[in-house]
Amino acid sequence: MSLPFEEAPLWDNAGLEAALLRETSRPLRLTLTTNRSVLLSFRRKGGVIHLRLHRMFLHASTAVVRAVARSLRRTSRSADSEVRRFMNENLHRVRKVPRQLPPLLTTGRVHDLQQVFDRLNVRFFSGSLRVPLTWGRGSGRARRGGLTFGSYDPVLGLIRIHPVLDRRDVPQYFLESVVYHEMLHHHLGGIPDRAGRTVYHSRVFREAEARYPWHRQALAWEKDNLPHLLRASAELERKRRAEAAALRR
């Protein structure tokens, strides 16, 4: 399978496995895949690391390969960040049909998402994040009896926020906590755990999330106001469907 890289691969299968063996100093078996959901996974069996990598890693630099090895040895947190950055930067290459960004709407009736994002970006990321965001359509799916208030699409690199939060009775700190959560998904990506599974709400993620000063207040506010938000979300969805039906007539 060829990938839409302009440059030729830096490795072949045997060369990449040999480099990883050399860097890990541990018995290792490499399998290259075209799995578009799980780009990196591994397990240990009989003293051997069984590593599965997407074929995009044939285009990885020596620095990224060394970072993969350090992640397998669990000797460096920064290595996880290097590997995540490489995967995030190349996610668009693993899809058969590239997706386009939808129209972006950041100015709501009450809250301006871009202003919220910019404040958080300066405060927590030194202004370094470049992530488009938009109010969603209002069809957020239920999760554990609740709502998905925000989501991050790693292929588009897009943050969506549920429009039920564009209300005067939603405090600024709660909206900020949701946007900050999704910004962390972009910044941190997924981290392979010791079993080789990709974890998105890792310990590193939770520690970073807790740095938001009103994190606990936001959790408490959600718990107290979830029934109200569920009703408001259902009403938004009814209106959206009614408007869509009217346009089809």
From first to last of its 249 residues, what are the pLDDT tens digits of the chain? 556 676 788 899 999 999 999 999 889 999 999 887 788 888 888 889 999 999 999 999 999 999 999 888 875 556 677 788 788 778 777 765 556 788 999 999 999 999 999 999 999 999 999 999 999 986 545 554 578 999 998 778 899 999 999 999 999 999 999 999 999 998 887 766 655 566 788 888 999 999 999 999 999 999 999 999 999 998 888 888 887 777 777
Contact 118, 146 (CB under 8 A): no
Residue where a domain stops, chosen among 94, 121, 143: 94
Residue where a domain stops, chosen among 33, 66, 94: 94
Number of structural domains found in the chain: 2
Q: How do 48-54 and 28-33 pair as beta strands?
A: parallel
Instruction: Collect all residues with Cβ–Cβ distance below 8 Å to 27 and sequence separation of at least 6.
Output: 21, 47, 48, 49
Q: Which of 140, 112, 121 is nearest to 184 (CA)?
A: 121
Burial code (b: 16+ CB inside 10 Å, e: under 16) for 154-168 equals: bebbbbbbbbbbbbe
Q: Which range marks the domain in which residue 67 is found? A: 13-94
In a domain, 5, yes or no: no
Contact 91, 154 (CB under 8 A): yes
In a domain, 26, yes or no: yes
**Distance between CA atoms of 166 and 155, rounded to whole angstroms?**
26
pLDDT at site 131: 92
Q: Phi, psi at residue 150, to the nearest 5°?
A: -150, 160
Instruction: Note whether 124 and 166 are same-domain residues.
Output: yes
pTM score over 0.75: no
Instruction: Note whether 149 and 72 are same-domain residues.
Output: no
pLDDT at site 197: 61
